[in-house]
Structures are given as structure tokens and as C-alpha cells.
Amino acid sequence: MGMATSHSQRVLNVNYPPFMQFFSVCYPHIRLQTCSTMWFFQYSARRFRRFRRRAAQRITNYASSPATKTMRNEINKLIDGISDPTAQKAFATEMQGFIHLYKQFVGEGTSNESLVWERIKSPAADQILSYDALPESTTNTQLVRMLAVLKINSEMRTDAKNTVKVKGDTTLLDLTVQQIEHLNASHHVDVPLILMTSFDTHDETLRALTKYDQRMSIIPFKQAKYPKLLKDSLLPCPNNIRDDKAAWYTSGHGDLYNALYRSGMLDQLLKAGKQFLFVSNADNLGAVVDTKILQYMSDSHTEFIMEVTNKTKVDMKSGTLIDYDGTMRLLEGSQISPEHSEEFKCVRKFQVFNTNNLWINLKALKKVMIGGGMDLEIIVNRKITNEGNPVIQLETAAGAAIRHFKSARGVNVPRSRFLPVRSCSDLLLMKSDVYTLEHGRLVIAEDRAFGTVPVINFGDHFEEIEDFQQRFKTIPKILDLDHLTVSGDVVFGRDVTLRGTVIVVANEGQQINIPDGCILENRLISGNLTMTEL
């Protein structure tokens, strides 16, 4: 004898849509028969699915502090203001990363705990290896074939760093492309160049890429943008997604890992057989692929390598590697309390700094991201807007990821692997006769004494690239220069030569013009001079 069948089971045997089946089980006394009823439920089901999709794109307030709940509500307003579903979903995904940072900032996370100074130690000898101690690499074409190169392209004042001209009309991007082309030609491989851009640099980078042919793979992708926070209220500066870009900021190079994972780039690289990723800043012209480091990474099964180099006077505040309870960590100046700031600058305890040249095992990175991602220490960047309002940017450093990998090392590399163009003084050096080009790489000229570079200090009049370009009719000859300081309204003529120590200071409201063809050697110039007075 068959088992009795309940009303709800009988209803489910009818060929109703899933939503109607759910309704019939909950309300068995309502009959679902008429066409108008069918139309109503089909319409309701579509509305329900749309609501569910939209709700999934909102940031939930589950188990959050009042501050985080308020922030989530503000972020949801920004999300709801986007009409395009694809754009809305992408922005909501980015904001998940921002909310994660904000929770840490207001004390809900664990990665921003205060470090106990007494537990901070200099790394052991086996934690930071000397570059010279690494075995010489063999020409392993198969190993190079498993490599990809990623450049972090941020802004330099008002320009994308990749598009800044450093040698004649040759840009940073041109030099990077030349480096990768030389690598590919030497090993008969196709190492792709990946450009991580920002909302400020993406379009300019795309325009710059149009001039290159298809001899190599160049893949641009954009990292997240986050809302700046008003310092007093800790609420977002933008009221909607279309607000001026001054209300937003690029998420920082620590967003690298989320950006790779979120965009599908990580899976794309692994599918293409790539196992290693070499990451560096777009403005570091010394960061070329080094097969010696790549070979060591493969042979030692190291998952993460950070290139460090010895500190000089200009690097005292830069982040350094430390041993903290037996774990390698990146220590940034922003994590240091005022009473330990001088000790942090001491080269006897912290001899090296992070160049942001990073080597990453992609399979290990995928495992970390699948396992819950990374909690990276927050860098609280305080700024003043053009309107005079104090704001806060929450950022992270890519090098801080070193603590999340089981086998990680630092490698102390020569200073030649750290040649950044961070300021106009750096730009003058790169453009000058101190450096020559070799396959897209800057090399100190053979005629340069002692193999060192001049120290150059510029005042406020030389901060912007446009000002820099207007104040030099041509780049001076500085092959024999030791030190240059320029302050105030100073303009250099054509074919100027600078030697030894040269200091040029224009008083406020006055101007100094260095005439064409002038040779300045161990000179101090101040006051208000015209071209004929030198």
C-alpha cells in the first residue's frame, strides 16, 4: 500500500516555476490556477530575482561596530547611485576591500596591532641573503618562460609615471618595453608585461600603448579606487560615484594581490603556465629581470622574495625588513611611535630598506587568496585638499605581504637595482649624461668618477614637471658634478655645464638666469642676476 501524499508534495508535482512552488508550499490554501495569477507570480519572481541580485551587491552590516555600520550605509548609497549593473557589481566588489581596511582602521581587525618594540629584531643571516652569495644562474629558457613581469604605474605629480620622458623623447614605458623585448629575444620566449594602472593613469596608459606593435604581450588592468575620508567625521568625501576625482584616491600598491585575484588576472596567468611574477614600480629603471634571483627562487622553492638594498641618508625613513617573533615582516615608518623614530633611522640596526622589487610564486599566492586573503598593515596617509580640508587615505604596502608566505626571503641587491624617478631631481639625473642606455636599462657612464651619482636638491619652484621643463632649456652637463642645490626662481640656459658643488639661490621675488654655455664649478650664486652678469 502506498504512502499517503501531503498537499505540499502534490503541489510540487505540478510544473510550476520554482518561485511558485515555494509559494504553494508556504500557502497551500491558495489555489494557483488562473492565467492572471500565473502572470502575477512570474512578474513577482522577476522582481524578486532583481532584488536579490541588487541586495547581493550591497555591503552588509552583519556583526559590525556602529562606525563600520555607518560607513557601510554610506558606501551602499554610492553603490545604489550606479545604474549600470555591471559597473555597480564591479564597484561593490572594490568597496569590499575598502570596508575591510576601514574595519581594521577603527579597531575591528587584527593586522594593525601595535608592535612591541622590544620584540623587533634585525633579520637573521638566513632571512636576508646577499645577492653576491646567490649561485650564478644558468640560461634556463624553460624557467624564464614561466615568468611574467608586472609594473605598478602610479602618478608623478600630474602625469602617469609610465609616460614621463627620461631620455630625449623616450619614456619610462618605452624603456620598460625595450627591457622585456631584449629579455624575450635573448631567451626566445614571450614574457608578458602587465601594467597595473589607476583610475588616474589608465586612459593615458592605454593611449601610450597604441604605438607599440604586437611583438610582445602588454596587458593593462586597473586597480581599485577608494573614497577619501573626511578627517573630522571619518565619512567618505564623495557623495556619489560621479564626484570629482579629487574626492577619490588610488587604493595603494598593497591592493596588488586583491586586484590580481579580483580581475581574474591571477587565474589567467596560471592558465598560461606562468609560475613566477616579478613586480616593481614603473619608475624604477633599475628593476630589470634578473635570472640569478629567478633561478634561486625556483631552486630553493621560495614563495616570496623582497629585494632590499643598503640605506643611505635619503633612505632613513623607508620601510625595512624585520624579524618579529620569528616571522619576516615589513616595518614602515608609519608604524613607529615618536619615541622610537630615531632608532628606526639607525643604520646599525636597520641596514636595508625595501626597494619594492618583489618576486612572487603565483601558485602560493593563489593558495593564500583562496584561504582568506591577506591582512596587511594599514598606512594612514593624511593629506590636505586644495580647499584646505584635512582628509585621510587608508593604504597598504605590497611588501607587507611577506608575512603571509610560508617560505620568504630578502635579498640584498646592489644599489643599481633601485633607480627610481620619484621627483624632478631624480628626473634630471636620468636625463643627464651621468647615465647611458643599454637595452632599456640605465647604466652609469664609464667616464663618471667613482661610479656614484650627484646629490641634487630642488626647491618648490621645481616640484611640478611642467615647471621643471620650463626652467631647463636643455639638460645641463653634470658628468663631473658632486652636489647641486637650486632654490627660488632660477632658469637654466642651453648647454650649461655644472661641476663640483654648485648652489644657486634666488631671493624671494627675484630671478636668476643662468646664461647659455655657462660653466659653473664650485660656485655659490645668490641674489638677483641676469644672463649678462655671470
Binding residues for substrate: 253
CA angle 322, 305, 361 (to 5 degrees): 135
The label of the residue with cell 632599456 reads 440
CA angle 434, 439, 441 (to 5 degrees): 45
The label of the residue with cell 627675484 reads 510
Residue numbers belonging to the annotated binding site: 253
Centre a 10 Å sphere on the Cβ of residue 350 and count the other Cβ atoms it contains.
Answer: 22
Chain center to CA of 372: 21
Contact 448, 481 (CB under 8 A): no
| Integer angstrom CA distances of residue 54 from 20, 80, 451 | 21, 9, 61
The label of the residue with cell 618562460 reads 145
d(CA 455, CA 407): 38
The CA R_g of the chain, rounded to the nearest whole Å, is 29
d(CA 296, CA 351): 23
The DSSP symbol for 373 reads -
Helices 85-105 and 66-80 cross at an angle (nearest 10°) of: 160
- Judged by phi (left if over 0) then psi (alpha if -120 to 50, else beta), residue 107 lies in left
Residue 230 three-state SS: strand
Tell me the three cell numbers of residue 103: 574595519
- Judged by phi (left if over 0) then psi (alpha if -120 to 50, else beta), residue 500 lies in left
Helices vs strands, H then E, count in the chain: 15, 28
Helix (H) or strand (E) holding 366: helix 362-370
Contact 67, 106 (CB under 8 A): yes
d(CA 382, CA 394): 9
d(CA 9, CA 18): 14
Tell me the three cell numbers of residue 427: 628626473
